[in-house]
Amino acid sequence: MKKTMKKLAAVLLSVTMLTGMFMGCGVKHEHPVITPTPTPEGWKMPTKAPEPTQAPDATATPTPTLTPDQTGEVDPKFTVDPAADAAAPDLKKLNALEVAELMGNGINLGNTMEAYGRASHGVGKATSLYETAWGQPITTQEMVSGMKAAGFDTLRVPVAWTNAMNYEDGDYTINQAYLDRVGEIIDYAINADMFVIVNDHWDGGWWGMFGSATEVTRNAAMEMYTEMWRQIAEEYGDRSYKLIFESGNEELGNRLNDKDVCPDSGSLSESECYETAHKINQAFVDTIRATGGNNADRFLLIAGYNTDITMTCDSRFKMPTDTADGKLLLSVHYYDPSNYCIFTSVEDWGSKQEYQSMNDMLAKMTKYTEQGYGIVIGEWGVLYEGNAVKNQRTEYMTNFLANCDLYGYCPVLWDCNNMYNRNKCELIDDYKDFFIGRNYEAEKSLTREQIETNAKNAMDTALAAAQEAEALADDEAKAWIMYTSSDWGTSYSVGDVYAPGSATAGLVATDVEITGEGTYTVALDFTGTYNGAANGVTFCALGIGNGEKLFPGYVVHITEIKINGEVVKMTGLPYTTSDDGICTRVNLYNAWVTAPPADARSMMGSAMNCTPTPMDQEQFGQVKTLEITFRYIKK
């Protein structure tokens, strides 16, 4: 079939400095759950950041101070222009792969209807108070029409439904004014001839009720979820097939154990989280379908596990069954590597290994396209805070979009009034060519085969031109310290693959070649970085690249740790392990692993007495220098 081109990878992009980009997924409010490339053993991104303290984006309209009688609401009976929806009946004949291509290039209405205002405003106040709570202007038809004119064919609308629900009292009724307002935004998109995705997005972290130690709470969570979606489905059931419901955001996974609103949460093992996520997704499909009408065969978007590609491709993740044939899409997010895409710790991207890593990761989702599921990359982007500029951003985004062309994925850019200026209703100058250039009439006539050829050629050319990063030879082993600071602003070579180029500017590392049994010292010096120190720790481990291959069964025995030149004592016992059978690792602080794996090794007898957090987080503080001395022993 033919399609509207969402991004011709062969066109060179002209992307310069962004202005005040917020981080993805409603951050400052919640971080995307993203696994950096490559992945540390058991390591995962944090699942929620504190409520925002940052001032609103400078491009946003100042939020008015409204009293309950000054609602600032627009007409709740806004209707769709029938002419704008004329093509909708044809969508019913398509399958999920075909509709994913028609969805083209998308954009998120970020930090808007998912802005969580219950803590400050309570429940049931003027919807404008919630809509503007995270610094965004009131959404208008002109804003959304401008997005369409800028080259976007899909609008994703994250929503926090509990802003309008007294669920703590067992009342799951959504305030009608809130339903009306979301309905208006849906209609703005349909009027603009766009697809529109609506989900339940973090929403204050109520999802942790599913991980409660109390069965009553777990049952209440499922009742709340199904009642929420029953109301949403019934409210918007007459909307065209351009409206797509999404089962969640990043919560269907490890975040089912979140303690935001449920202190006794955390009872689920990871396998049980997979099982629960499947039950939730199945309940989502069953609830929508039961409301009939267009919902009987509407396209539905299923949230992958943590929306993480690797974890969604795990055999434990199961797609729900459906009474409608070929109407399910699958959502994952892509911000890899996170220290480049989201955080400020790494400024450069573009080695041959990084190109290949991106290509390999995105290719994994063909596991699902081969089964007939359309793929939506519900969030992506090279994001940053303040005025930090990322080098090679153009190359990164070009290659990412080429991958989406090659496989027919729909990418939905995360944006919070940064690249698309909602007040001027247009892209900022630096991005106009980036997206608008992909809607030329000539491009619309390209066949799928032509699109794939162009994309593959662009990817091959970029990979061939990329520089080799410093890497280990097959017969070489090297030890180093993996590190990520607590503010995510400083990092060094986090993951199973030794990548000294993945480092904060100004950081000096002392890595050592391992030749066999002996005593070695590795170190990090943060004094030359922007902050002059690493602010605390989020993850820290000692890695030995190729250690498992060249020195199988060896054990690391740490003899001394110095922070800022002072010796510090471990508070627990470390263990030696490997996640990939190649890299040897010893965790010093890894809060995302709760117990040693079955194959862990220790100098102290049973590794089951050891811990992935043998150092306390408080021991790190402002780290100017970190030095680790260890013995490498053949056991």
pLDDT in tens, 378-415: 999 988 655 456 889 889 999 999 999 999 999 999 99
Residue 106 φ/ψ, nearest 5 degrees: -120, 170
In this structure, what DSSP letter does residue 460 have? H
Domain for residue 41, yes or no?
no
CA angle 368, 306, 327 (to 5 degrees): 35
Q: How confident is the model at residue 88 (pLDDT cuts 50, 70, 90)?
A: low
Q: Is the sign of the CA dihedral 303, 306, 311, 317 positive or negative?
A: negative
Per-residue confidence (pLDDT) for residue 63, from 0 to 100: 35
In a domain, 323, yes or no: yes
460 and 507 share one domain: no
Domain membership of residue 396 (yes or no) is yes
Say yes or no: 305 and 250 in one domain. yes
- The CB density around residue 505, as the number of other CB atoms within 10 Å, is 13
Using the predicted structure, report yes or no on whether residue 36 has a pLDDT greater than 90: no
In this structure, the answer to whether residues 103 and 151 fall within a common structural domain is yes
Is residue 265 within 8 Å of residue 259, measured between CB atoms? yes
- Counted domains in the chain: 2
By C-alpha distance, which of 513, 516, 515, 496 is closest to 584?
Answer: 496
What is residue 65's predicted lDDT score, i.e. its pLDDT? 33
Domain end position, chosen among 465, 499, 521: 465
Contact criterion met (CB below 8 Å) for 4 and 445:
no
- Domain with 577, as residue range(s), is 478-634
| One domain, residues 234 and 281 | yes
416 and 494 housed in the same domain: no
pLDDT tens-place string over residues 54-71: 333 333 333 333 333 334
Q: How far apart are CA 283 and CA 229, in angstroms?
A: 9
Check which CATH number belongs to the domain holding 198 and give it.
Answer: 3.20.20.80
Contacts of 159 (CB under 8 A, 6+ apart): 113, 114, 182, 198, 199, 200, 201, 203
Could you say which of 401, 430, 465 is where a domain stops?
A: 465
Per cent of the chain over pLDDT 90 is 74
Cβ(42)–Cβ(590) under 8 Å?
yes
Alpha-carbon gap, residue 558 to 567, rounded angstroms: 12
Q: Is residue 191 part of a domain?
A: yes
- Model pLDDT, residue 40: 38
For the stretch 152-181, pLDDT in tens is 999 999 999 999 999 999 999 999 999 999
**592-605 average pLDDT score:** 84
What are the helix (H) ranges across 236-319? 270-290, 309-312
**Contact status, residue 320 vs residue 279, Cβ threshold 8 Å:** no
For residue 551 the two structure tokens come to 């020195």
Cα separation, 207 vs 200, whole angstroms = 10
Q: How many CB atoms lie under 10 A from the CB of residue 617?
A: 14
For residues 144 and 235, what is the distance between their CA atoms, to the nearest angstrom?
Answer: 21
Cα–Cα nearest to 291, from 197, 240, 227: 227
Q: What is the DSSP letter of 577?
A: B
Residues ≥6 apart with Cβ < 8 Å to 203: 114, 116, 159, 160, 161, 162
pTM: 0.84
Residues 454 and 503 grouped into a single domain: no
Classify residue 557: in a domain, yes or no: yes
